[in-house]
């Protein structure tokens, strides 16, 4: 199974456009047992976008179920809006909003308790030596190490210098990170790659890295581009069947 997940971030600015993007993908994606397609739109659009084939996720969640928490969205609300997935710890929330590991762990636990699959994002902030990368990643994934109860988490490796910059990460570096995870974590998690992913670079990553799919940002808002990535993933999954 190849996962193709689209993180819309704070886009688009109106429901009409959100529907246009969502239903263009929905119409053109035939549905396929080998490729799992999901999009992560802003909260306000979630209830208006529905499909059997294209799944939905949220970009964030609060850890309590309900109550006096002004501005927050609870996991029960996400379930009610049809979300199967939720991003947790995206670098834009870590470094722009200021979320720390303590908050991220609460959100992760809340997703799991409420049967939402969390996509835990992690990745180094800058291009530094691999020794430093390991320290940074280990800190971000601290609470996964030694916990068996976290087995339903999907990881998304997103080096910050690759996000939205056009500088896709080297496949050899992705592989170093994947090997590091294999050694450090006692569960084999599914791992997605994210960061300037597009239809031109996705094939090489699928072929050279033992990756389960992608978390696509900018390219997920361009329907033709996103559909092309899905098509490449479908072909790749099919070739693996033989």
Residues found near ligand PGA in the complex (CB under 6 A)? 7, 158, 163-164, 194-197, 215-219
Give the whole-angstrom CA distance, residue 78 versus residue 83. Answer: 5
| C-beta nearest to ligand PGA: residue | 217
Long-range contacts of 181-189 (CB under 8 A, 24+ apart): 181/137, 181/141, 181/155, 184/138, 184/141, 184/145, 185/141, 185/144, 185/145, 186/145, 186/146, 186/148, 187/144, 187/148, 187/150, 187/151, 189/144, 189/151, 189/153, 189/154, 189/155
> Nearest approach, Cβ of 69 to ligand PGA (angstroms)?
26
- In the bound state with ligand PGA, the residue whose beta carbon lies nearer, of 197 and 227, is 197
Instruction: Name the residue nearer to ligand PGA (CB basis): 49 or 215.
Output: 215
Taking the complex as a whole, the smallest distance from the CB of residue 158 to ligand PGA amounts, in Å, to 6
Angstrom distance (rounded) from CA 192 to CA 37: 13
Instruction: With H, G, I as helix, E, B as strand and everything else as coil, classify residue 58.
Output: strand
Kindly list the catalytic residues.
Answer: 90, 158
Neighbouring CB atoms inside 10 A of 84's CB total 15
Cβ 76 to ligand PGA shortest distance, Å: 25
Structure tokens at 174: 């992705």
Place of tokens 């490729």: 35
Q: Measured from the CB of residue 218, what is the shortest distance to ligand PGA in angstroms?
A: 3
Name the residue nearer to ligand PGA (CB basis): 10 or 68. Answer: 10
Nearest CB to ligand PGA, comparing residues 98 and 131? 98
């Amino acid at each position: 199974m190849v996962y193709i997940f689209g993180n819309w971030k704070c886009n688009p600015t109106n429901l009409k456009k959100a529907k246009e993007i969502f239903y263009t993908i929905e119409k053109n994606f035939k549905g396929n047992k080998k490729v799992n397609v999901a999009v992560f739109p802003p909260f306000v659009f979630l209830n208006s976008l529905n499909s059997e084939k294209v799944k939905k996720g949220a970009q964030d969640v609060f850890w309590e179920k309900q109550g006096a928490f002004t501005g927050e969205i609870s996991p029960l609300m996400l379930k009610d809006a049809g979300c199967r997935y939720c991003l947790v710890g995206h670098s834009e929330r870590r470094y722009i909003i200021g979320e720390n590991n303590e908050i991220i762990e609460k959100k992760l636990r809340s997703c799991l308790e409420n049967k939402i699959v969390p996509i835990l994002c992690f990745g180094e902030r800058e291009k530094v030596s691999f020794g430093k990368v390991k320290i940074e990643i280990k800190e971000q994934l601290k609470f996964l190490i030694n916990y068996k109860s976290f087995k339903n988490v999907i990881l998304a490796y997103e080096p910050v210098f690759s996000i939205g910059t056009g500088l896709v990460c080297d496949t050899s570096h992705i592989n170093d990170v994947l090997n590091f995870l294999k050694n450090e974590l006692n569960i084999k998690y599914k791992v997605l790659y994210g960061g300037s992913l597009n239809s031109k670079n996705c094939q090489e990553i699928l072929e050279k890295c033992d990756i389960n799919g992608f978390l696509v940002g900018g390219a997920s808002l361009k329907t033709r581009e996103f559909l092309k990535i899905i098509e490449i993933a479908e072909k790749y999954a099919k070739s693996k069947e033989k």
